[in-house]
Amino acid sequence: MGIRALPGPHEAMDFLGKFTDGDADFDDITVPEGHIVRPHVLYRIDRPVSLSP
């Protein structure tokens, strides 16, 4: 998870192979509306599905 207002973490997540899905982004309801850190970005990573137990 990252904060939309901070530019640095996005490059790090790209380097790690993670990506964002704008539909999954959310606002942190514990932060007041209009605050710069309220919007959060959810990162995902593709991992192969293992069929073995």
The verdict on residue 38 lying in a domain is yes
pLDDT of 3: 61
The verdict on residue 7 lying in a domain is yes
Q: Is 17 left (phi over 0), alpha (psi -120 to 50) or beta?
A: left
CB neighbours of residue 43 within 10 Å: 18
The verdict on residue 50 lying in a domain is no
**What pTM, to 2 d.p., does this model score?**
0.59
For residues 27 and 31, what is the distance between their CA atoms, to the nearest angstrom? 8
pLDDT of 7: 59
Count of domains forming the chain: 1
Q: Identify the residue whose tokens are 């990506």.
A: 19
Q: Which tens digits make up the pLDDT trace of 10-51?
A: 788 888 888 888 899 999 999 999 999 999 989 888 876 666
The verdict on residue 40 lying in a domain is yes
H-helix segments, 1-53: 8-15
The verdict on residue 30 lying in a domain is yes
pLDDT of 48: 67
The verdict on residue 9 lying in a domain is yes
The verdict on residue 52 lying in a domain is no
Domain limits for position 21? 2-45
The verdict on residue 51 lying in a domain is no
